[in-house]
Amino acid sequence: MSKISRDDVANLARLARIEMTPAELDHLSSELSVILDAVARVQEVAGKDVPPTSHPLPITNVFRADENRPSLTPEQALSGAPAQEEQRFKVPQILGEE
């Protein structure tokens, strides 16, 4: 039985940037444990000799020519912005630097 603790879910929620209520964390940890048990079956047949498939069809080398295409206008680009200023997307203060 896979066991996903409440702390595990809290950590996943942090990684996924979702603020969850304690009730949600509790609920999801029990639910995920059940789902993980069901999906863990994949391990039964995933032998070392089986190559993984990341793309359903075996296509390679699809390249675009290095040419310019029209961009959006700044008005279009910013049309969905929750806030804007000086033709830029206005966002709340960013903590920490990458």
Partner 1 sequence: MALSYEKVIEKYEPVLGLEVHVELGTKSKMFCGCSTEFGAAPNTQVCPVCLGLPGALPAVNGKAIEYTIAIGLALNCSIAPFSRFARKNYFYPDMPKNFQTSQYDEPICFGGFLDVKIDTDEGVKEYRVEIERVHMEEDTGKSLHMGGATGRIHGADYSLLDYNRAGIPLVEIVTKPLTGTGKYAPEVARAYVSELRDILRSLGVSDVKMEQGSLRCDANVSLRLIGAEKLGTRSETKNVNSLRSVERAVRSEMIRHAGILDKGERVIQETRHFHEDTGETTPGRSKEQAEDYRYFPEPDLVPVAPAADWIEKIRGSLPEKPSVRRKRIQEEWQVPDKEMAAMINADVLDQVEETVKLGADPTRARSWWLGEIARLANEREVPAASLPITAKDVAEVVALIVRGELTDKLARQVVEGVINNEGRPSEIIEKRGIKVVSDDSALLQAIEKAIAAQPDVAEKVRGGHIPAAGALIGAVMKETKGQADAAKVRELLLKHLGQG
Partner 2 sequence: MIYEKSATEMATALETGEISAVELTKAHLDRIAAVDGEVKAFLYVDSEGALAQAKEVDQRRKAGEKLSPLAGVPLALKDVMVQQGVPTTCGSKMLEGWRPPYDSTVVSRLKAAGVIILGKTNMDEFAMGSSTENSAYFPTHNPWDLTRIPGGSGGGSSASLAAFEAPLAIGTDTGGSIRQPAAVTGTVGVKPTYGGVSRYGLVAFSSSLDQAGPCARNVLDAAYLHEVIGGYDPMDSTSINAPIPPVVAAAKNASVKGMKIGVIKELQGDGYQAGVLKRFNESLEELAKLGAEIVEVSCPNFEYALAAYYLIAPSECSSNLARFDAMRYGIRVGEGSAEEVMNATREVGFGKEVKRRIILGTYALSSGYYDAYYGSAQKVRTLISRDFENAFTKADVLVSPTAPTTAFKIGEKSNDPIAMYLNDIATIPTNLAGVCGISIPSGLAEEDGLPAGFQIMAGAMKDERLYQVGAALEAALNSKWGAPILSKAPKLGAK
* Residue 61 touches which of partner 1, partner 2, none (Cβ within 5-8 Å per kind): partner 1
Residue 44 is a binding residue for partner 1 (CB under 8 A)? no
Residue 59 is a binding residue for partner 2 (CB under 8 A)? yes
Residue 25, judged by CB atoms within 10 A of its CB (0-12, 13-18, 19+), counts as middle
Taking the least distance from each CB to partner 2, the nearer of 1 and 72 is 72
Contact 1, 37 (CB under 8 A): yes
For residues 4 and 8, give the distance between their C-alpha atoms in angstroms, rounded to a whole number.
6
> To 5 degrees, how large is the angle CA 91–CA 95–CA 98?
100
Residue 68 is a binding residue for partner 2 (CB under 8 A)? no
Residue 41 is a binding residue for partner 1 (CB under 8 A)? no
> To 5 degrees, how large is the angle CA 29–CA 46–CA 28?
10
Query: In the complex, which residues of this chain contact partner 2 (CB under 8 A)?
Result: 4, 8-9, 12-13, 15-20, 24, 28, 31-32, 34-36, 38-47, 50-57, 59, 62, 64, 72, 76-77, 79-83, 89, 91-95
